[in-house]
Structure 1
Amino acid sequence: MEDRMPEATSPADTLKKLELSLEANQRDQARLKAQIVDVKKTVDDIDQKTKDVDKTSTINAETYQKLKEWAGCKEKALKPKVPDPQDVADQETAGSKEVAALKEEADEAGRAIWPLDVKVAKRKVDTAAAQKYFDKVAGIPARNAEILKEAGDLQKKADAEETAKNCSKSYFYVLVMLDLLGRYDRRTPEQYAKALQYAGNVLANAVKYQREAEEKLEAAKADEKAKIKAFQDKKAKWIQEIADKLPVGDCKKIPPQPCEPPKGGYEPPKEPPKGYQPKEPPKGGYKPPEKPPEEPPTEEPPTEEPPKGYKPPTEEPPPPPEEPPKGYEPPKEPPKGYEPPKEPPKGYEPPKEPPKGGYEPPPPPPDDDDDYEPPDYEPPEPECEPPKEEPPKGGYDKQPPS
């Protein structure tokens, strides 16, 4: 078996391969450089926005917490003062839902534009292709004339070379002439007219479809614009419109509520001090500060106002009357003609009570007085009141003795 030497590569071939490789590498480098520029722009944008968020996140979180506390406290303090808080809440909910619905309609109109935009682009491609096909069919006579002219020139050259005994050159011109004549379109005028008519119909339909797609796209864009305007107008006016419909001077008079909003009201966030440098976000992406759990608001029943002129009682109410004992009968009315006893005359003094210890007789006479005579003494009548007679049950039949 004979050892064959590998085919030698000429320096020119090697140079050609290196040049081609360099050209390919240069194209790759240009593509990579353009891609690097695009990605770097996105990375720089992300870094800048992350720094902006880090700069304002703390202030925004504090401001949010203050506003949240103020609104929650104010809601508790105002609700008992409103005559119909549920009606106000219903109007707020209805207005908010209406704005959200308009926003959704605007977003839906925007989403409907994308497929129409893609369809218009496709119709433009179809129209361009139809136009190219029509131009090709319409240019058949001109191309045939050009082929015949070039073929005539080649014929002259072939004849001249054959006359000069240059058969190879003459043969070459003949081959080129045959190849050129092979591209000659040999359609008849009737066939050409049909082909041109067909190409014209294709082009007309493509233009029609493109115009319809563009009209739909323009209508969709106009619809989106109108819905965005309706949403923005409603968003800017709905709060004031509902507020204008609510009554004025309708606060109920109730005792102060325990929840009072912080004094000073809302304070806008302050600008960071000069020289402030935000810290870089931690690895793994930005994490917003955790919000403390919100306690559900406790509703207090509204207090009703007392009627005008009402005064609270200052004394305790009298005890309820006791029930009479069993068997008790109320006294009957006296009979006709009964007169109650008269009052005693003026100056009347009731008899005095007897002295304590009873009656004491006078002392006995002395022993040495023989001439003593006892005084005439009559015992006094007992000073006592006669026994009272109780009236018989059922009243007197006759007037009692006076």
Structure 2
Amino acid sequence: MTSDTERFHSRLRVRMRARATDEPNRASSQLELLFDLTFVVAIASITAQLAHGIEQGQGIQTIAPFLQVFFAIWWAWMNFTWFASSFDTDDAPYRLLTMLQMGGVLVLAAGVPAAFNDGDFLVVTLGYLLMRLGLIAQWIRAAVEDPTSRRTALRYATGIAVVQLGWILRLLLQQANLLPAQIQLASFVTLAVAELFVPMWAERHRRTSWHPHHMAERYGLFVIILLGESVLAASTGVAASLNAGGVSGALITISVSGLVILFALWWIYFLEPIGEGLSANRDKSYFWGYCHYAIFAVLAALGAGLEVAVEQTGHHLEVSAATAAYGVAIPAGLFLLLFWAVHRPVITHQVVHPSVIIPAGVIVLALPLSVSLIGVVGVVATIAAVCALVVGVTTIRRTNVHESN
């Protein structure tokens, strides 16, 4: 006999309707996993550009384009993810429109070097346009095929289209040299804020039916992608160091420490029952979802910082030891503090206690002050020890609580 799943996939078109918020065993689809892979290219590109900027002593100047391009990547991923949680049909039209959005991600990734090096956002904006066109088409389809969601879907399609026209106008003014440099950042922030308001305006009448455990899994998978990119960046630094000076004790120490940091941050992120928290506090979804921009951004920046720190240790880049140390400490420390702050309103009883994670974050942020005494290797190794200590203390504390109950 043919299973329900096989019959579903054999159909060319499925009527799009809002999915149940309590759908059992809801997990990421194969298409969602394939969609995520296109973001690997874009994230790898901006991580490499940030690392190069730090190496050339232009880390501060690189932060603005890094955050701008990362916003486009994050916002496109997030819009697709929340839509899919509510309306995924996985039929032929849905898959083709998803492929269009994937193509937009790849175009955006191709434009990252020009955006960083020349301030030219032409290709990045065109890639973003392709992603938005695919999403607008999905929302129009939802409006046509699901009467109960029609008003919300049309508001989404309208809001996204209007803001996209703003991005196009901004690009045209830039290309014609009619947008003064001093207001380019202000115009970006204005349009980004408008993007953030679209979902809140669209769902005032009726909220979409996203699945809490599905969303928790999707965000966790994006965290894994970002950590994977950090592994790649650190490996790039190791390869460059080996080519320049061969193996050394310092290189081995900082490489192992970098791996421990990434593994510890992964462990910490998945300690909290995020799916249960979102299920009990659906009204906190905007705060939780939007604030993950900062969590994701610092994880992407951590990869660049590790690459610079490893290379600086292996063949002494011109960048100062303090800069290399801060390149790791700032994103790692901010991750610890942001992780606590973002999950605090959503999870009533957090597994990672604030008395553990807050002091750890502060210590990590302060460690570069000791770089003149212990060096970059010492700073990174100590960061690894602090992150590992958070995991160890939390695990022991959690075990003791379970045993007492």
TM-score grouping bracket, smaller chain normalisation: under 0.3
TM-score by length of 1: 0.18
Report 1 or 2 for greater relative contact order, CA contacts < 8 Å, sequence distance ≥ 6: 1
TM-score by length of 2: 0.18
Identify, as 1 or 2, the structure richer in helix: 2
